[in-house]
Structure 1
Amino acid sequence: MIKPLPVFGSGHRKPAQELEYLGALRMGGKAPALIELYKTTIKRTPVGSPLDDLHARTILKGIIDRVEEVCKALKVQIRSGVVFGIAPEMGVVATQTSVMMTDVSILSFSLHFVTFCNLISKVLARTLIHEPGHVSPEPQVKVCFDPMQIRARLQASPELQAEWASILIHFASFGAPGRTTPAPERAGQLTQFLILKAMEEFAVAHEYGHHVFAHGLPEGNRSYPDSQWLSRDDLDESICQVTTLYESFGVKRIFNLPSPLDALYCWGQLGDEEIVRQHVAAAVEDDRGLLQALEAMRGWQNSSDTGVTHPLRDEVVGRFLDAKETFARLSALAREGRSRSIRRQAAELAAAWQREDKR
C-alpha cells in the first residue's frame, strides 16, 4: 500500500530537502513555494563545464551524494572520489572512466539518460494497475504487479502500447525522446516517483561501484586491502539472512512476486535446493497451489511465428518438482478439475508446456 501525493519531482534532493519538498506538497503544493525550493536547490549545485546541463547535473549530484553517504555508513572505501558531468552525446549514456595514476574516476551521463529514466517511469507507472486501498489513517493506494493482469491491461490499451513503442523506438533509432509522455494520474504519481528514483540511483550506484573496485586500471593497481569491506564471515551471515528471509516469506508469497523465478533460483543457489523443493512440494498439495506455482514458473519468449508467449519448460519445473508427475497431474486437472476455472487454467498451462519428449 502507498499513499498518493499530488505531484512528484525527479528525486534528486537530499533527504532533508526531500522531506521539505514532500511537506510542501502535503500542504497543498503551492506553485510559488515549489518553484522557490527548486531555485534554491539549483543554486546549491556546483557549476560544471559549459557543456553541462545544470538541471541534470543537480539531479546527479544529489544521487552521488547519497551513494557516498551510504559508502561512508558501510565503511566502503571510495578512494579519492569521483568527478562527474553531462556528456554531450545522444542516447542513454552512463559510464565510468578511471584517471590513470590517480585514485579518481570520471562518471559521465548523457542528458538523455535523465530523460529516458523520466519517460520510462511515467509510462510504467501508467501501465501498472492502481486501486483504492485502506482509508485509515490516510487514504492508501494498492499497486498490482501481477504480470498476467498487466499484460491484459496493455493488450486492452492501444494508447499505452503506442506510448511504449514511441519511447523505445525513438531512443533506439535517434538516441533521444520523441513526443512528451503524460504523467500518471494522482494515484500513480508516487509509483512514478519511486520507479524514477530507483532507476537513477541504480544506474549511478552501478557506475560508482566500478570506481570503488578500481575497474579500468591495470591489474596491479586494483589491490586495495582497505576496500575489502565484506569478510567471508560477513558474506556467510548475509547469505544466511537472505535464505532465512525467503523461508519466512513463504513460497506462496514468492509465487506472487513480479519475478518469482528469480527469487526461487536465488534461494536455491544460495541455500539448499532440496529445502526449496520441499517448500514448493508443500505449496502444491492443493490444486490451486499447483496452478499458482506453475504460473510462477512460466518463462518468456518471442518469435516471428507466435509472437510473445510464456511457456512452461521441463527443465524449469524439474528444478522444483518432478516434471513428469506434475504434467500428468496437470493434464488430469484439465480434464477432471473440480471447477470450470480450474479446468480452463490447467488446460492453458498444459498447452503452454514445452515438454522435452515432444521436441
Structure 2
Amino acid sequence: MISAVLPTYNRAPMAFVKGEGSWLTAEDGSRYLDLGAGIAVNSLGHANPALVAALSEQAGQLWHVSNLYRIPQQEKLAEMLVENTFADTVFFTNSGTEACELALKMARKYHYDNDQADRVEILAFEGAFHGRSTGAIAAAGSEKMVKGFGPLMPGFRQLKWGDHDALRAAITTRTCAVIIEPVQGEGGIRVVPDQCLKGLRDLCDETGTLLIFDEVQCGVGRTGKLFAHEWSGVTPDIMMVAKGIGGGFPLGAVLATENAARGMVAGTHGSTYGGNPLGCAVGAKVMEIVAEDRFLDAVSRKAAQFRQGLEGLVASHPQVFEAVRGQGLILGLKCKASNLDIVKAAYAEHLLTVPAADNVLRLLPALNIPEADIVEALARLDRAAARIEAA
C-alpha cells in the first residue's frame, strides 16, 4: 500500500523536532551535528534568532496579498539585491526550480523580441542540476531525471563538462543561452575555473548569446563571496538564486540586467506566492547579514579551517577518501568507499552529510557555523571513516 506521503525519497529513518544553530534534535532527544543545512538552505543555521524575529514580526502584520499590488518588503529585498550585484531587476519565486523556468523563458523572449525567433537552443552541461520541472530536467538531461518523463521539452543540448572546444563548436545562430553552475552541487562539487568562466563570458559576448548562472546552491555567501561568480570577475546576464536566500523560508529569485530582461513586460510571467511579504522579510534579513564584508571574511576563514581538516582526513584514511573539492563552505569529499555507506556511518556518529554524484560526500554547513563545531564535525567524520575501514 502506498504511503500517505508520495514515496519519491529514500528517507533516512530519523525525524527532527528542533534545531538550533548547526544542531538538530531528533524525536528521541539525541542531537545531530548538521553539515547539510537542508541542502545549503539554512544559511544562518536553524532557528536563527534574527530570522525568527523578522518572520514573527511580519507574520503578525501581513502574510499574503498577491502580486496584484505593490509589496514593500519585495521592493526592499529587490533593491538590496540590485545594490549588491550585477543586476538591474529581480523577480521573486518560491524555489530554484521556479527560478530556472523564468530564466529559460527570459532568455528565449529576449531573442524573440530582438527579431531572432529561431534562437531558442539552450546549452547546458553534463552533471548539471537545475531543478525538477520539465524544463529544468530537459536542460540537465541526465538519465535518472528524464527517464520515463518524455517527451522532453525540445531546445536543449548537453555538453561535456570542461570541454571548451565542444562549447565553441556548439554555439550556432540558433543558440539562445548557455546555463551553468559556477560550482556544481548535485553533480559532485565541481568548481568551474575562473579562466573558464571568463572565456565563457567572452564567447557569449562574441556570439550574442545570453549567459545564465545557476547559483541556487553555490550563491548567497557560500563560497566566501556573495555570489560564486564574483571570484572570476565576470557577471552573467541572468542569474538564478534560491536556497540560502531565504535562510530556510521558501524563496527564490531571478536577477537580470535590464537588457536581458527587456522582453519580460506585463503579462509575460507571474507567481501567486512569489515575493510574498513573509519570504521577503526573511530574505532581507538574510541579505543584511550575509552581504557584510566581515561575515564573508568569516566564511572564508572557516572554510580554510574546514578544508585543512578535510585534507588531513584524506591523508589519514586513504582507503575511504580520495580528495577534497569545492570552494568556501560548499565542499565535497571525493570518496573511494561508497559515499552512501559513509553517509550511513556518519549517521551512527550523529553527523548529517549529503551525497552527490561522482561518489562525492557533500558538506554544506551553515555559513555561521562556530569554529568549535567544525572541529567536532571533523572528529565525527574521522570516526565515521574508521567505521568504514573496520567494516
> TM-score w.r.t. structure 1 length?
0.23
Which structure: larger Rg?
Answer: 1
> TM-score w.r.t. structure 2 length?
0.22
The structure in which a higher percent of residues are helix is: 1
The structure in which a higher percent of residues are strand is: 2
Q: With CA pairs under 8 Å and 6+ residues apart, which has the higher RCO, 1 or 2?
A: 2
